[in-house]
Structure 1
């Protein structure tokens, strides 16, 4: 295996402003390019101009740095946190090649660069570079493994079904197969990637370089190493979030150094799930230590304090309007939200929405989160309380939940706590990916 190049979709827009810092080459011109440029869609072609002077027009163009270590480019108004509560625009700087293509009647900017270069940025974008070196090493290995697994899957896969729609149910799940013209997007949908915009200190470089080429494998196959912010105390299985393919190394377990002494937690059962979510059980990810949280929660995440256990309230008008706008279905007044199927972490896989005009079952976990929030709920591990019921119509719904994200694989906050407690990177990986072993690919 040799180190692959990665194609990352950064920004899609009718018009993109970008700057070259250093010297860049392109097949359309022998001149070295530097300075401020604009890409815009004109008559279904990409037009590149500098100071309003056209220098290229065509269907696709790639700019190549003279020196990947020195020469960089800046993309302006990149949207980050798409559809999340902290969505915003920022200017971002990158190393590597810059490729422009036409996609859905817009221009997409794609960054092409070596995997290890990409990975250094991912580690700094996903987590604080001031995190413990053991945590960063563990994260470098799982991020690299996820990349390699997805590249192999993309190379070998046929078109996969990611939704099942009947008259009674709408079941969808989301994965990186959505990206046809590049390998990954730069947002949380894949792995958070912001080029060299964020401060990358020695810890991130050390973590990537000292684990170069390492990934987890199970039965000699690269592990699809998933991660989320906070499992909520018990991790979830792969098949309950994505396609129905069990992975032995992505099973459900209690996120602590020993099993819960109360071993009766079967969170697929509603009574147990309600007790679990309303409790405050010990777990690695059950922490409010700001030093530890700062290792995982980068600047725009730090407004979030209640993630291990959280609560959201909606009035009847709010929830009926919300579900209508997010689903495109007029349910009328929302009469009830009924759990139909839960995963082993308590996350809802299927939820029945009963309205005065319509009743549907929705799933899987991310689709439920999308329908029940203007952005995303922290997780689908929640219980439902109704208040002030008038003529079968509750005037308020209270959702009490656990965790942040899908809960599969490594729990970032739990892993940060383990690092602070002195666990080594291989011990962290052994805890979250049981039965997997570390392999070197290149």
Structure 2
């Protein structure tokens, strides 16, 4: 017999009134109703009238004695002492008005308000100490009554459906703060945060992240909330590879914590106050919303059905919760901030001596770094956290750098909503913005592109930006609580004015190999896992996040709202897709492994970015025949979250389709979708390996050369100024030659550039030779041979960094090497230096034709910024492949006269802008302008993916 069972037995033996109620509990009437796939129970329990029918106005609460204080308890009631964290004292009492067969109340010894802040660790300690119990907490205005004495309750496990049938909640992970996971339920009551954690410390950190994101009631000082917590024996321990994919190993005996958080928007539903004969007096608390609805009145019990329960849930539970992320905005020795409306200090370290109003901070503020601390208003602190005083509160951060180390780099003042943390790091002070995901997306979409872009393109981008963010394996894992309050904002990256941006010197992985038998190999790639103090940065290294000034566009707001909670998943029940995107693929998209870790994903494959590839992206059908037949082209714009059941939603979607698509549209792209009960929309496109016949083999050097030196038809092959002006922000429009481009280097310029950008002195550069290409023609490994050193460099971003003062447009390029003219010998041009696989140092000379390149001339500002580079594209108005300039080449060069010639110039002809993986922004915009819907666009670029609503 457990300690709790012994307490209950003693109490029932000596407390007749309590014993009678526990006996009556065995005879109470119940009925089972299914809500959202979960079997719940309705319990007719007259004894609970004392709580359910209690008056909860302030005067009534003040007038009645506190029944949890020692002096007001029944004489028969005895207590079992329990010590929480930090010496906090509680008493475990048998609840004399039971719902559970074993029901306990755990009040604090002292009469303190019902506030969970600071006491959640005690809840975890109870759950761990009593593994056979479910512990629950009813916040202020969130219980059957409204007690003003802090307490928890607990009852035997297996009684509440949400605990017993936890898997039926269909939790979908959206964040991983540290070792914990925060998921959202997709069934029963969709949209409730669920925390799973292997230890109390990580469970508390995840819970505080959820709690801080909820609105605070001005009446109670904390969010309206119910919490249920229990432990389980974990028989599966999760481990993750570099991309966050889960593998499981059997590790019997480990404890895991489950925490179900139920945000509230009302204490009691309207049916509670209905006229006699119509009322259903259910005052929902943790037990009710956990799946056992308590009704103390017989007539109300008979009236309670599924519709009544659904209305109660709809009126009292807030299912709008969304993850709140931390965005690193800026790192600098000094931060200048203007609070445009009042903010309050919500957290501070080293606050001794803090003077002034903590709750009305406004106007210009200056923060500086002093002795590893934040100096503000003459005092030094370890960290300062500001919280907006109202939903309208914003702050402006001055002199934020954008486009770091790209050719559009500049500074601007930016305005933000949400919270602000000022944190000292080794590089300076870091400003971190805490913001809900959907608000973050408003800024991202407006920062990545022009708000006047086609509507369906904006919707598609909202989905992939959300998916990319929520697919991050460690989202929510930023830890600003470091030793002495200092840490790198980004591993190994020291910058003056920003956190890791366009040029992240920290690497997700790298390798350097030295061999006596061959050249050095330096293979590096950069990814979002670089950040340790926050979830994502605000620049191109992650996603552009440039505040509210651009986010006011109504089109962007509509696109984000219309796709709220929608993500792409790897199949109907798969994980969230890591949806990458770049400006221009160049005609064929790239695979993941060409740019980052040596792994690939079925939804990130090479596809031809044209109408033929588009037609091949039609979906396959899977599922019961009665669930098929909804055309993806017939799916209406996804509305903001509605409250109808999924069956009602399904019927309405079918009934509302009154406009038939034209035959041409249907023949262009015809895709079926399977409706699945646990998802609002499921769009499954054909996997890439079934639709890749149209993709040329651009890993072959000659094929890649022919491809890059031509101008094949593609969605992103456009010079339409009207379209581009609606897609690209002003500074992006400075880059006009994105589809095909050309740059030149002098020998001196290239040697100096490589020395500065790589730190390696190559001497004179003799050869640039592609050794390995990806599916889009992007170079994965490039051999650079000089008179002093020979190095193989990769992957694509490292190649782009070495060959540009900022970043080369892409690594999809071919090389023409120009040698010096001599008396009687014309200028010599070699294509690519040496054939792939040929001996190093054996120059090849041949006649070559170089076409004029699509696109206008690059700006003088850009050209001037690139040492040793000149552009020859200013006369490139004609884009026909056969419009060429011919270089005369003498193939009779004696090795005795020129045994190891030193080139005088290198000419790169390139394709595309960016890494080319996933969605092509310009291509997607062109598809949208031609009438493509956002789901069609996503199915085209992310083959085999499924469009799923998380919340």
Name the TM tier (shorter chain). over 0.9
Match of 1:327 in 2: 758
Report the aligned-residue RMSD: 1.9
DSSP 3-state at the match of 2:548: coil
**Counterpart contact for 2:326–2:434, Cα < 8 Å:** yes
**1:398 matches 2:915:** no
1:105 Cα deviation after fit: 3.7
Q: Deviations over 1:179-216 (max 9, x none)?
A: 11000110011000001022521111111111100000
Distance 1:404 1:35 in 2: 41
Structure 1: stretches of 5+ with no match in the other structure: none
Distance 1:259 1:417 in 2: 14
Distance 2:726 2:946 in 1: 25
Match of 1:234 in 2: 588
Match of 1:24 in 2: 343
**1:345 matches 2:782:** no
1:325 Cα deviation after fit: 0.2
- What aligned pairs does 1:206-217 form with structure 2 within 5 A after superposition? 206-217=558-569
1:296 Cα deviation after fit: 2.5
Select 1:139's aligned residue among 444, 450, 461. 461
Match of 1:419 in 2: 928
Distance 1:394 1:184, change over 3 A: same
Distance 2:613 2:561 in 1: 34
**1:162 matches 2:490:** no
DSSP 3-state at the match of 1:374: coil
**Counterpart contact for 1:295–1:416, Cα < 8 Å:** no
Question: Larger deviation: 145-154 or 124-133?
Answer: 145-154
**Counterpart contact for 1:148–1:222, Cα < 8 Å:** yes
DSSP 3-state at the match of 2:471: helix
Distance 1:273 1:154, change over 3 A: farther
Select 2:381's aligned residue among 38, 52, 58. 58
Match of 2:603 in 1: 249
Match of 2:399 in 1: 77
1:151 Cα deviation after fit: 4.8
**Counterpart contact for 1:163–1:173, Cα < 8 Å:** yes
**Counterpart contact for 1:151–1:183, Cα < 8 Å:** no
**1:102 matches 2:424:** yes
TM-score, normalised via structure 1 length: 0.95
Match of 2:805 in 1: 374
1:48 Cα deviation after fit: 1.5
1:30 Cα deviation after fit: 2.6
Distance 1:98 1:262, change over 3 A: closer
Distance 1:375 1:205 in 2: 32
DSSP 3-state at the match of 1:8: strand
DSSP 3-state at the match of 1:188: coil
Distance 2:393 2:703 in 1: 57
DSSP 3-state at the match of 2:472: helix
Distance 1:236 1:394 in 2: 31
**1:181 matches 2:533:** yes
Distance 2:901 2:926 in 1: 45
DSSP 3-state at the match of 1:125: helix
Q: Deviations over 1:322-381 (max 9, x none)?
A: 000000011100000010100010000000000000000000000000000000000000
Q: Which has the larger radius of gyration?
A: 2
**Counterpart contact for 1:15–1:41, Cα < 8 Å:** yes
DSSP 3-state at the match of 2:734: coil
Distance 1:174 1:165 in 2: 15
1:132 Cα deviation after fit: 1.2
**Counterpart contact for 2:442–2:551, Cα < 8 Å:** no
Select 1:203's aligned residue among 537, 551, 555. 555
DSSP 3-state at the match of 1:221: coil
**Counterpart contact for 1:44–1:105, Cα < 8 Å:** no
Q: Deviations over 1:165-190 (max 9, x none)?
A: 11110000011111110001100110
Select 1:12's aligned residue among 331, 335, 339. 331
Q: Deviations over 1:216-273 (max 9, x none)?
A: 0013210000100000000000111111121000000110110499957211011000
Distance 2:808 2:793 in 1: 15
Distance 1:143 1:269, change over 3 A: same
Match of 1:222 in 2: 576
Distance 1:333 1:36 in 2: 53
Match of 2:620 in 1: none
Does 1 or 2 have the higher relative contact order (CA < 8 Å, sep 6+)?
1
Distance 1:380 1:222 in 2: 28
**Counterpart contact for 1:142–1:215, Cα < 8 Å:** yes
Q: Deviations over 1:30-65 (max 9, x none)?
A: 34111001010012210123xxxx2x4211111111
Distance 1:405 1:327 in 2: 20
TM-score, normalised via structure 2 length: 0.45
Distance 2:476 2:594 in 1: 21
1:93 Cα deviation after fit: 0.5
Equivalences, count:
434
Distance 2:523 2:727 in 1: 31
**1:430 matches 2:939:** yes
Distance 1:155 1:79, change over 3 A: closer
1:388 Cα deviation after fit: 2.0
1:297 Cα deviation after fit: 1.4
**Counterpart contact for 1:154–1:177, Cα < 8 Å:** no
Structure 2: stretches of 5+ with no match in the other structure: 1-183, 185-192, 194-321, 349-356, 479-490, 492-506, 515-519, 615-691, 821-897
Distance 1:161 1:76, change over 3 A: closer
**Counterpart contact for 2:819–2:901, Cα < 8 Å:** no
1:318 Cα deviation after fit: 0.4
Distance 1:64 1:15, change over 3 A: same
Distance 2:432 2:693 in 1: 50
